Amino acid sequence: MSLPLSAEDGRATRVTRRVARWVRRGGISTLVFLIPTLVVFGLFSWWPIARGLVLAFQQTNLVTAAEWVGLDNFRKVLADPLLVTAAGNTAWFALLALVFGYPAPLALAVFVRELRRGRALFSVLAYLPVVLPPVVAILLWRVFYDASDSGLFNTLARGLGLGPFQWLQDARSAMPSIVLEATWANAGSTMIIYLAALSGVRTDLYEAAEIDGASIWRRIVHVTLPQMRTILLITLLLQIIGTFQVFTEPFLFTGGGPANATTTILMLLYNYAFINGDYGGATALSVLLAVFLGLLSLLYFRLTRRWSTT
C-alpha cells in the first residue's frame, strides 16, 4: 500500500515529469542551437544597440572616462541648424527614390517575365550592377557625370543639342543625379525578389485574362499587382527605411556639397562622430533617427494593415 504524497513531493514530481517531457521533445537540442544564436546576436546586435543608447547620454571621446550629460546631446543635435537641411535632403532623396526607384524593379521584373526568349540574359544584365562594389560603381558614375564636354552624359546631351550640365556641382541636379545612380545600382536585387514573387502568381489568372482580351497593362493592374501586394508592401517599407539611411552615394559623389545640398542625416552623423569626435552627439542623432523610423514603420503598418489582409 503506497502512502499519499505530501504537497512538496507532488510539486517535485510534477516538475520532474515536465523536465523529462521537455527533454524527450528535443529541448536540449533546441538549447544547443539557440545559445550560439543568442550569443552572436547579443554580442553583435543587441550589445551595440544598448551601448549606443548609453552613449547618447554621455560626453565621450571613447578614450577618456565618459561623462554623463543627460539630454544635453539631444538638445545640441536638435539645435543644430544643419539638422533641418540634412533632414530635408534625406526626405528629398527618399521621395525621388520612391517615385523613380520603386517602380523601376517592378517594371524590369514584369518585362523580363513577359519575354519569350532571352529571359535569363536580361535577368543577368539587370542584376549585374548589384555585384559591383558600391565604391567602384560610384567612381564609374563620377566619370559619367564629368562636367566637362568630354563627360559621357554631357556628350550624349550635346548630341541632343543640350548642355553641358554641372551634374554634381549644381545644387538642383546633384541629388537627382545621386538618385539615378542609386536606382541603377540597387534595382537588380529587388527585381530578383519580384521575379520570385511573380513565379507564384497563378498562371490560370493570366490565361483567363488573355482569353478575355486583356492587354499587358490590364493584366499587370488586375492580376499581377493584387497577387503581389504583400511583397510590394514589404519592399516599399524596406526602401523607405533604406533611403532614410543613405550615406555612401552622397559621401562619395559630392561629400555633402554643393552648399550642403546633398548632406543627409547619416552624413551629419558621420561628421559628428569622425570629424568632430563627438560620439555622444552622433549616437543621440542615431537614436532620434531610429525612433523616427520605428514610428514611421508603425504608422505604415497601421495604414496598410487592411489592404495587406484583404
Residue 68, φ and ψ in degrees, nearest 5: -75, 120
pLDDT tens readout for residues 196-212:
888 888 888 888 888 88
Q: How confident is the model at residue 5 (pLDDT cuts 50, 70, 90)?
A: low
Mean pLDDT of all residues in 236-251: 92
pLDDT of the residue at 249? 93
CB-count exposure of residue 36 (10 Å: 0-12, 13-18, 19+): exposed
β-strand partners of 68: 58
Q: How confident is the model at residue 221 (pLDDT cuts 50, 70, 90)?
A: confident
pTM for the predicted model, two decimal places: 0.83
pLDDT tens readout for residues 274-284:
999 899 999 99
Is residue 158 predicted with pLDDT exceeding 60?
yes
Residues of the chain above pLDDT 70, percent: 97
pLDDT tens readout for residues 78-102:
999 999 999 999 999 999 999 988 8
Cβ density class 228-262: b for 16+ within 10 Å, e for less: beebbbebebebbeebbbbebbbbbbbebeeeebb
Cβ contacts of residue 175 below 8 Å, gap of 6+? Answer: 89, 92, 93, 96, 250, 261, 262
